[in-house]
């Protein structure tokens, strides 16, 4: 397989006559947005079969132009994605304010070709192939670099028998739920035309949520110091082992089995309490397996980090359903190895995760929000190799639902990452009710997982590659 060949690059802007002044000129970021300043851009990609010769997209040039035009219409509905970050330094206290300027500087749209790469080259290898990295635009930019580079970039790459649609997104702009909303709008426009969704005048709410009016905006932070401290903290003089990426598939039946096991292990006075979710159970299964196969000291502590969603926990003022921003914050579960890998460890871990999630009441979330403003920090992106892992995304957000007009994806893939720590990315699987977990960690640990019967007994083979019915492009 050879590297890709770029056919064209374009800057897509929102039409001013569509905005009618409804979009804010400046979006004052809140702590949920600012915590991601030093992280890499978020990246998601969808792999499709090429449309059949009988479809409206039988000519690839027609398909690419159609995707670009429909993408442009989606940008009209979400004009902040065409903006840029702005950093304003304050000499009086040596702080800076960071906000989104809705200046319509443009979103990048790239058309590329991977002439010797097929769908099989992407989905059949045991490990995620490195050529996939070239399918994502913007390279390895960090979110704070959104002052100079687009907040969003799309690359459509032609394969021998497929189309890969990839999006790189500045994480200060939004989290996975609004990202899904944008993808969904784009897919709907591509499939059915703009008139299908344009009647909703409040398709997205761009103004950032704040718990009260007594917060100075834009928020002032020690920007330079935070970036420098983050960079120092991410450094490591010890040579790291090579990291690999592998996807494990969990069918609905195995997920139900793990959930039942975890709930059976959770008891209060001898009475079983059914409170463990499917996701908590499967995350627990993966994490305790990763720790068990390392044969660590039973008295050592290991830490699992994950995101808490605030949307459904805030009522005064509420967060709109169409909120186009971040509404998540990190938290952790720390346990001793003996408790995690010993008898009943699955239930113990899942219960601890459940308790932590339940502790994030509206009062606590607001308190943490205000505390961050007083002491701005960026979550550490590193931990002790083998004893720390973080989870991104959620299988509750299903990217397999998108259909641009010629069928649903055959695979969903994560973009490249510069992270120096172990990571688990959770996505919905192609089969109904299934999960796909992409693990990014030491190659030897991934190999050990595959040899571990207890772990693999719950893992299923990926579903067979299926074709999807070809939908004719509906007339707008």
**What separation in angstroms does the CA of 26 have from each of 52, 100, 106, 206?**
44, 6, 15, 10
Q: Is 211 exposed, middle or buried (0-12, 13-18, 19+ CB in 10 A)?
A: middle
**458: Cα within 13 Å, side-chain hemisphere:** 23
Tell me, rounded to whole angstroms, the distance of Cα 197 from its chain centroid.
25
**CB-CB contact of 70 with 116 (8 Å):** no
Can 171 be counted among the known catalytic residues?
Answer: yes
Can 403 be counted among the known catalytic residues?
Answer: yes
b/e sequence 110-142, b meaning 16+ C-beta within 10 Å: bbbbbeebebebbbeeeebbebbebbbbbeebb
Coil vs helix vs strand at 26? strand
Tell me, rounded to whole angstroms, the distance of Cα 39 from its chain centroid.
12
**What separation in angstroms does the CA of 4 have from each of 1, 19, 49, 63, 107?**
9, 36, 18, 19, 21
Measured between alpha carbons, how far is 405 from 55 in angstroms, rounded to an integer? 9
Tell me, rounded to whole angstroms, the distance of Cα 289 from its chain centroid.
24
**CB-CB contact of 138 with 150 (8 Å):** yes
**Exactly one of 28, 175, 181, 403 is catalytic; which is it?**
403
Torsion sign, CA atoms 22, 28, 31, 37: positive
**CB-CB contact of 32 with 329 (8 Å):** yes
Measured between alpha carbons, how far is 6 from 46 in angstroms, rounded to an integer? 18
Q: Is the peptide bond before 191 cis (omega within 30 degrees of 0)?
A: no
Give me 310's structure tokens.
Answer: 């605030």
**Exactly one of 171, 175, 181, 436 is catalytic; which is it?**
171
**CB-CB contact of 441 with 243 (8 Å):** yes
Q: Catalytic site residues?
A: 171, 403
């Amino acid at each position: 397989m050879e590297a890709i060949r770029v056919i064209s690059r374009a800057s897509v802007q929102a039409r001013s006559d569509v905005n009618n002044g409804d979009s804010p000129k400046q979006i004052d970021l809140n702590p949920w947005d600012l915590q991601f300043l030093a992280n890499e851009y978020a990246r998601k990609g969808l792999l499709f079969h090429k449309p059949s010769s009988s479809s409206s997209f039988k000519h690839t040039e027609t398909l690419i132009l159609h995707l670009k035009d429909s993408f442009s219409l989606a940008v009209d509905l979400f004009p902040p994605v065409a903006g840029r970050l702005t950093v304003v330094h304050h000499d009086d206290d040596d702080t800076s304010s960071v906000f989104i300027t809705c200046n319509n500087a443009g979103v990048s749209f790239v058309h590329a070709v991977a002439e010797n790469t097929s769908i099989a080259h992407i989905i059949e290898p045991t490990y995620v192939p490195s050529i996939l990295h070239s399918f994502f635009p913007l390279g390895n930019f960090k979110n704070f670099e959104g002052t100079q580079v687009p907040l969003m970039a799309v690359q459509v790459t032609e394969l021998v028998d497929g189309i890969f649609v990839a999006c790189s997104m500045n994480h200060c702009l939004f989290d996975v739920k609004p990202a899904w909303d944008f993808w969904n709008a784009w897919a709907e426009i591509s499939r059915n035309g703009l008139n299908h969704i344009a009647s909703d005048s409040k398709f997205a709410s761009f103004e950032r949520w704040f718990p009260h009016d007594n917060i100075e905006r834009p928020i002032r932070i020690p920007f330079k110091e935070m970036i420098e401290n983050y960079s120092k903290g991410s450094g490591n003089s010890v040579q790291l082992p090579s990291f690999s990426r592998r996807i494990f598939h969990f069918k609905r039946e195995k997920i139900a089995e793990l959930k039942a096991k975890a709930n059976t292990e959770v008891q209060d006075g001898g009475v079983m309490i059914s409170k463990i979710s499917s996701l908590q159970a499967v995350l627990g299964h993966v994490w305790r397996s990763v720790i068990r196969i390392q044969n660590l000291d039973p008295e050592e502590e290991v830490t699992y980090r994950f995101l808490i969603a605030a949307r459904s926990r805030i009522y005064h003022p509420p967060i709109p359903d169409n909120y186009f921003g971040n509404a998540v914050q990190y938290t952790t579960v720390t346990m001793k190895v003996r408790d995690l890998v010993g008898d009943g460890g699955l239930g113990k871990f899942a219960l601890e995760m459940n308790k932590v999630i339940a502790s994030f009441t509206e009062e606590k979330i607001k308190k943490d929000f205000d505390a961050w403003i007083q002491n701005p920090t960026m979550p550490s992106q590193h931990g002790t190799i083998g004893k720390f892992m973080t989870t991104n995304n959620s299988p509750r957000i299903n990217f397999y639902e998108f259909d641009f007009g010629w069928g649903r994806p055959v695979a969903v893939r994560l973009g490249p990452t510069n992270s120096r720590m172990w990571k688990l990315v959770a996505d919905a699987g192609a089969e109904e009710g299934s999960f796909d977990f992409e693990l990014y960690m030491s190659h030897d640990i991934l190999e050990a997982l595959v040899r571990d019967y207890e772990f693999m007994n719950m893992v299923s083979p990926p579903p067979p590659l299926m074709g999807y019915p070809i939908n004719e492009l509906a007339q707008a």
